[in-house]
């Protein structure tokens, strides 16, 4: 019988501009949990990018895992969870969605729930409130989704993107809830129609792999970026510099404050070098789409 597992979940960038609350892309930056059965629950945090508090009862991963266990009338075997992460918190790289997806997988293992992929998509998107990050963390790759009022998620999953991505992470946090707080509750119809047309063109360009158009429409959002831009350090400067250095386009990553550029694979080295010189206070990271979503490795007990 197994007594330890590794759960590895990719972070994600949501929206890609006008795909607000719908489009997500898994990134090759990971949250990793090493799980070992023991008599009591325990969380051990390793390195940066993890909350400073490790109290079991308040831990997001513990709370979500218990909530999911309860939903399926299953009790979870206690365990030690050693957690490390490449996803800075509250920066728009889907750390909360990755944590929720990891917690659902944890409940799935410890409660022997036998969840299907569709169950994981539905539960994680319902908890997040929108399916963009959660579906990308579950499946990897690019996801285009809609969630109905009952919380049923329909996702179209596109695996490969022939481009690289560069994230510009500022040294400040911005909670997704705060960044959603500046959005208007209503949009005038003509404005909403233009916003929706840009989102349609982004989705069509992603499926057609028309990278020039992908870049153009990533920069044509009307749903959220116009209202969030003033919260984002160097919003205009990074857009302009990235375009001059050869990016197809740049958008807010999720709710921000990170910005993300999509660039041709051929210019990766020179692009990073130029951006690091121009934005020395940002952490600038070259990444790619994650080819896989949740990955579970089971270690069998030799005793």
Ligand X SMILES: N[C@@H](CCOP(=O)(O)O)C(=O)O
Ligand Y SMILES: Nc1ncnc2c1ncn2[C@@H]1O[C@H](COP(=O)(O)OP(=O)(O)O)[C@@H](O)[C@H]1O
- Residues contributing to the annotated binding site: 88-98
Q: Which of 171, 303, 166 is nearest to 248 (CA)?
A: 166
Residues 6+ apart with CB under 8 A from 99: 31, 60, 61, 64
Q: Tell me, rounded to whole angstroms, the distance of Cα 268 from its chain centroid.
A: 22
Q: Answer yes or no whether residue 145 interacts with ligand X by CB under 6 A.
A: no
- 254 or 293: CB nearest ligand X: 254
Q: Answer yes or no whether residue 61 interacts with ligand Y by CB under 6 A.
A: yes
Q: Answer yes or no whether residue 130 interacts with ligand Y by CB under 6 A.
A: no
Residues 6+ apart with CB under 8 A from 109: 5, 7, 35, 296
Q: Are 86 and 29 in contact (CB under 8 A)?
A: yes
Residue 224 contact among ligand X, ligand Y, none, beta carbon within 5 to 8 Å by kind = ligand X
Residue 105 contact among ligand Y, ligand X, none, beta carbon within 5 to 8 Å by kind = none
Q: Answer yes or no whether residue 122 interacts with ligand X by CB under 6 A.
A: no
| Torsion angle of C-alpha atoms 194, 198, 204, 207, degrees rounded to 10 | -150
Q: Tell which one of 37, 60, 183, 201 touches ligand Y (CB under 6 A).
A: 60
Q: Answer yes or no whether residue 133 interacts with ligand X by CB under 6 A.
A: yes
Residue 180 contact among ligand Y, ligand X, none, beta carbon within 5 to 8 Å by kind = ligand X
Q: Answer yes or no whether residue 94 interacts with ligand Y by CB under 6 A.
A: yes
Q: Answer yes or no whether residue 176 interacts with ligand X by CB under 6 A.
A: yes
- Is 150 buried (19+), middle (13-18) or exposed (0-12) by CB count in 10 A? exposed
Q: Answer yes or no whether residue 239 interacts with ligand X by CB under 6 A.
A: no
> Which residue ranges are tagged as binding site for ATP?
88-98
Q: Which of 215, 231, 122 is nearest to 166 (CA)?
A: 215
Contact letters (x/-) for ligand X, 96-115, by CB under 6 A? x-------------------
Q: Report d(CA 102, CA 254) in Å as an integer.
A: 19
Q: Are 254 and 130 in contact (CB under 8 A)?
A: no
Q: Which of 82, 81, 151, 74 is nearest to 108 (CA)?
A: 74
| Nearest distance from C-beta of residue 213 to ligand Y, angstroms | 27
The contact set with ligand X (CB under 6 A) reads 14-15, 20-21, 92-94, 96, 130, 132-133, 176, 180, 224, 254-255
Kindly list the residues in this chain that would bind ligand Y in the complex (CB under 6 A): 31, 50-51, 59-61, 83, 85, 89-97, 99, 175-176, 254
């Amino acid at each position: 019988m197994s007594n330890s597992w590794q759960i590895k979940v990719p972070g994600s960038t949501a929206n890609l501009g006008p795909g607000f609350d719908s489009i997500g892309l898994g990134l090759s930056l990971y949250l990793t949990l090493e799980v070992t059965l023991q008599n009591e629950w325990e969380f051990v945090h390793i390195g940066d990018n993890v909350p400073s508090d490790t109290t079991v009862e308040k831990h997001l991963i513990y709370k979500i895992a218990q909530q999911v266990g309860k939903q399926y009338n299953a009790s979870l075997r206690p365990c030690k969870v050693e957690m490390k992460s490449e996803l800075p918190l509250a920066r728009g790289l889907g750390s909360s969605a990755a944590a929720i997806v990891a917690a659902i997988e944890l409940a799935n293992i410890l409660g022997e729930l036998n969840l299907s992929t569709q169950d994981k998509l539905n539960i994680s998107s319902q908890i997040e409130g929108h399916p963009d990050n959660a579906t990308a963390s579950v499946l990897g790759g690019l996801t285009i989704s809609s969630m109905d009022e009952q919380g049923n998620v329909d996702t179209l999953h596109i695996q490969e993107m022939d481009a690289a991505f560069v994230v510009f992470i500022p040294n400040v946090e911005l909670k997704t809830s705060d960044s959603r707080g500046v959005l208007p509750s209503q949009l005038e119809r003509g404005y909403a129609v233009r916003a929706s047309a840009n989102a349609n063109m982004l989705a069509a360009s992603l499926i057609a792999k028309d990278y020039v158009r992908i870049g153009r429409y990533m920069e044509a959002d009307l749903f959220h970026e116009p209202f969030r831009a003033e919260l984002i350090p160097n919003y205009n400067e990074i857009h302009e510099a990235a375009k001059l250095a050869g990016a197809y386009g740049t958008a807010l990553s999720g709710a921000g404050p990170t910005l993300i550029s999509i660039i041709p694979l051929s210019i990766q080295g020179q692009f990073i070098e130029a951006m690091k010189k121009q934005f020395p206070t940002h952490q600038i990271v070259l990444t790619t789409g994650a080819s896989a979503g949740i990955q579970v490795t089971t270690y069998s007990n030799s005793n």
